[in-house]
């Protein structure tokens, strides 16, 4: 019932085109229940299913999930192995759903860092869904934004060195095309669960004008109701992009 009320409050004409999520709190969720960390990761994978499904139903064009950072390689090997196995299980289970729901699967990050079986499954899912148009589901895997920015700088420097481009031609559009997220719109809304108030090296360049939403809810407990509340708060904010309130009103024809 609460979900229906929230859906009625939602303005479906003002939904974000691109939502990015930092899925945080799996370990704390498990610890609170005296369970091993893997139980939290498995519960978190179920949340991914729910949120992807709801975003697809709402017509969200792009959803990007911070799944495994390049710093996560410092975790215990057993936990890393488990996370890679969960990635395999997710792709095996959800590929048919993505094909049926017109979802294109995408990844950003250094996929070559993943175990070979994970690389192969990721590439297979990307290839089989590459013509889907309904929504782009992106998993950030072995991803770090500082590394992404440095990679972009190196690519641009190499093009300058080879005289493919001139220094004076470097601008924000050219720089954006060298990022892993090339082809995706910049996120309109970034959600972080678990109560942490930081962005943790995630899409640092892309979120310059993104609305940030922080919630204390741990990721395994994050559900469709929480998502809709975040979307409603997003719709109640005024995105100024450096303009004054008066300028925004004139642009929107409200003055």
> Given phi > 0 = left and psi -120 to 50 = alpha, else beta, which region is 97?
alpha
Residue 239: what pLDDT?
A: 78
For residue 9, tell me if it sits in a domain: no
102 Cβ partners below 8 Å, 6+ apart? 132, 133, 134, 135
Q: How far apart, in whole angstroms, are the C-alpha atoms of residue 213 and residue 231?
A: 9
Pairing of strands 211-214, 189-192: parallel
At 174 the pLDDT is 97
Q: Is residue 248 part of a domain?
A: no
Of residues 246 and 82, more confidence is placed in 82
DSSP 3-state of 22: strand
The pLDDT score that the predictor gives to residue 75 is: 94
| Pairing relationship of beta strands 18-22 and 103-108 according to DSSP bridges | unpaired
Please say whether the beta carbons of 221 and 51 come within 8 A.
no
d(CA 224, CA 219): 12
pLDDT band at 249 (very low <50, low <70, confident <90, very high): low
Active-site residue set = 24, 72
d(CA 80, CA 57): 32
Please count the other Cβ atoms lying within 10 Å of the Cβ belonging to residue 98.
Answer: 21
Phi/psi region, residue 59 (left: phi>0; alpha: psi -120 to 50; beta: rest), is left
How many domains, in total, are found in the chain?
1
Model confidence band, residue 238 (pLDDT cutoffs 50, 70, 90): confident
> Can you give the residue range of the structural domain that contains 111?
14-143+186-238
C-alpha distances (whole Å) from 208 to each of 13, 187, 189, 203, 242 are: 23, 9, 11, 9, 11
**Which pLDDT does position 244 carry in this prediction?**
64
Which of 100-114, 123-137, 231-245 is predicted with the least confidence, judged by mean pLDDT? Answer: 231-245
**Is residue 27 assigned to a domain?**
yes
pLDDT recorded at residue 253: 60
Instruction: Give a yes or no: residue 212 inside a domain.
Output: yes
Does 94 reside within a domain? yes
What is the domain-level CATH number for residue 193?
Answer: 3.40.1180.10
Q: Enter the pTM of the model.
A: 0.93
Whether the predicted pLDDT of 247 surpasses 70? no
> CA separation (Å) from 46 to 37, 42, 70, 245?
15, 7, 23, 41
Segment (H or E) for 158: helix 145-161
- Residue 185, token pair as written in the block: 């719109």
Whether the per-residue pLDDT at 245 is higher than 80: the answer is: no
Is 139 a domain residue?
yes
250 falls within a domain? no
* Residue 20 backbone dihedrals phi, psi, to 5 degrees: -115, 140
Nearest to 73 by CA among 128, 143, 4, 156: 143
Task: Specify the pLDDT at position 2.
Answer: 85
Residue 87 belongs to a domain: yes
């Amino acid at each position: 019932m609460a979900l229906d009320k929230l859906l009625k409050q939602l303005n479906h004409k003002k939904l974000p085109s691109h939502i990015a999520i930092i899925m945080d709190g799996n370990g704390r969720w498990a610890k609170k229940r005296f369970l091993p960390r893997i139980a939290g990761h498995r519960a978190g994978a179920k949340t991914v299913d729910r949120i992807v499904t709801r975003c697809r139903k709402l017509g969200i064009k792009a959803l990007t999930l911070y799944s495994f950072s390049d710093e996560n390689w410092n975790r215990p090997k057993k936990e890393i192995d488990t996370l890679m196995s969960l990635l395999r299980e997710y792709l095996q289970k959800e590929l048919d759903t993505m094909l049926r729901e017109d979802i294109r699967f995408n990844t950003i990050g250094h996929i070559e860092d993943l175990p070979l079986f994970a690389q192969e499954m990721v590439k297979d899912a990307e290839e089989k869904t590459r013509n889907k148009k309904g929504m782009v589901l992106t998993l950030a895997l072995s991803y770090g934004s500082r590394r992404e920015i440095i990679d972009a700088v190196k690519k641009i420097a190499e093009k300058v060195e080879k005289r493919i481009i001139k220094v004076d031609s470097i601008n924000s559009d050219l720089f954006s095309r060298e990022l892993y997220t090339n082809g995706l719109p910049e996120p309109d809304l970034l959600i972080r669960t678990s109560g942490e108030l930081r962005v943790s090296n995630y899409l640092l360049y892309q979120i310059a004008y993104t609305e940030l939403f922080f919630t204390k809810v741990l990721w395994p407990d994050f559900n469709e109701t929480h998502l809709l509340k975040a979307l409603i708060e997003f719709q109640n904010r005024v995105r100024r992009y450096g303009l004054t309130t008066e300028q925004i009103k004139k642009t929107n024809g409200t003055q």
